[in-house]
């Protein structure tokens, strides 16, 4: 059965995370500021919005490229998949924490980003298992 995305079966969660990163990166690249209000102040204290845009977009591209390689190469790309998850998990966790600081307004966002961070750990475990063979 052909898959919608060119990768090995069981990588849909990784595609989802990669596409979310791409989407966030693209939204943050819009000409008008999108990280507006107290909810985003802790993130903006770390780096400006355009830097977040570049980071998220580049990580999304790297993740999607690693998944394409994973689907086309006979041995896959577990190291690349692990590396992207290792970089993404703290970003999702940081977003969750900063949104939690803005409780109760940020609770909905914090609950989503903590799930993304948690699933990055599952992705790392899965890639490590693929590395072992």
Binned at pLDDT 50, 70 and 90, residue 1 comes out as very low
CA dihedral 22, 25, 31, 32 (to 10 degrees): 120
As a whole number of angstroms, the distance between CA 33 and CA 93 comes to 23
- Phi/psi region, residue 63 (left: phi>0; alpha: psi -120 to 50; beta: rest), is alpha
Which has more confidence, 46 or 102? 46
φ, ψ for residue 90, nearest 5 deg: -65, -30
Binned at pLDDT 50, 70 and 90, residue 43 comes out as very high
Q: Where are the domains of the chain?
A: 12-132
Model confidence at 59: pLDDT above 90: yes
Q: Cα separations (Å) of 17 from 50, 81, 85, 100?
A: 20, 11, 9, 21
Model confidence at 47: pLDDT above 80: yes
Interval 85-128: pLDDT, tens: 999 999 999 999 999 988 888 899 999 999 999 999 999 998 89
Which has more confidence, 114 or 71? 114
Binned at pLDDT 50, 70 and 90, residue 79 comes out as confident
Interval 5-39: pLDDT, tens: 566 667 889 999 999 999 999 999 999 999 998 88
Model confidence at 48: pLDDT above 70: yes
Mind spelling out the 3-state secondary structure of 21-78?
HHHHHHHHCCCCCCCCCCCCHHHHHHCCHHHHHHHHHHHHHHHHHHHHHHHHCCCCCH
Which has more confidence, 54 or 2? 54
The residues, ordered by sequence, that sit 6+ positions from 75 with a Cβ below 8 Å of its Cβ are none
């Amino acid at each position: 059965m052909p898959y919608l995305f060119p990768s090995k079966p069981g990588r849909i969660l990784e595609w989802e995370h990669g596409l979310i990163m791409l989407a966030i990166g693209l939204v943050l690249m819009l000409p008008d500021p999108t990280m507006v209000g107290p909810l985003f102040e802790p993130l903006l204290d770390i780096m400006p919005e355009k830097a977040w845009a570049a980071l998220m977009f580049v990580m999304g591209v790297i993740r999607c490229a690693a998944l394409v390689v994973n689907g086309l190469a006979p041995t896959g790309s577990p190291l690349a998949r692990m590396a992207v998850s290792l970089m993404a998990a703290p970003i999702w966790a940081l977003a969750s924490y900063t949104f939690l600081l803005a409780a109760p307004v940020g609770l909905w966002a914090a609950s989503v980003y903590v799930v993304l961070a948690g699933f990055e750990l599952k992705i790392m475990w899965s890639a490590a298992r693929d590395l072992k063979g």
